Amino acid sequence: MVAVTYAETDNTWLIAPYSWRLRVGGPDHNCFERAVFYACIDKQRQQRDLSWVALAKTTRVSPPTIKRFATGDAIEVDEVLALLRWLGRPLEDFSRSNQHLN
């Protein structure tokens, strides 16, 4: 089971049991490469010959929610995790610094 908690003191989300921290504010707020993540999702979707609706059913993440990764709108950590599982890729593949914030 994955637990996600927000640490107000340093504007990060802690994702357990992985001990990952994602910074959501301050100078490092763009450390998660949303555009790269979305492009990877779209490429895999096309390679697997899936529509956006089929992808949504598979991942249980709605098409409008998936498209928010491309637009910069608010996203939820559980949505990121569901799509990472579908991609079979670790979170750090989409980190600008490619390292954890500990």
Closest CA to 38 of 64, 2, 4: 64
Q: Is the pTM above the cut of 0.85?
A: no
- Each domain of the chain, given as residue ranges in start order, spans 28-94
Tokens of residue 30, six digits: 């763009």
Mean pLDDT lowest among 15-19, 25-29, 37-41, 86-90 = 25-29
3-state secondary structure of 21: strand
SS3 of the chain: helix, strand, coil, percent, to 5: 50, 15, 35
63 vs 12, more confident: 63
1 vs 91, more confident: 91
pLDDT digit string, tens, across residues 22-61: 555 444 444 677 788 888 999 999 999 999 999 999 999 9
3-state secondary structure of 5: strand
Phi, psi of 7 (to 5 degrees): -105, 100
Class of domain 28-94: mainly alpha
Residue linked to tokens 């340093």:
10
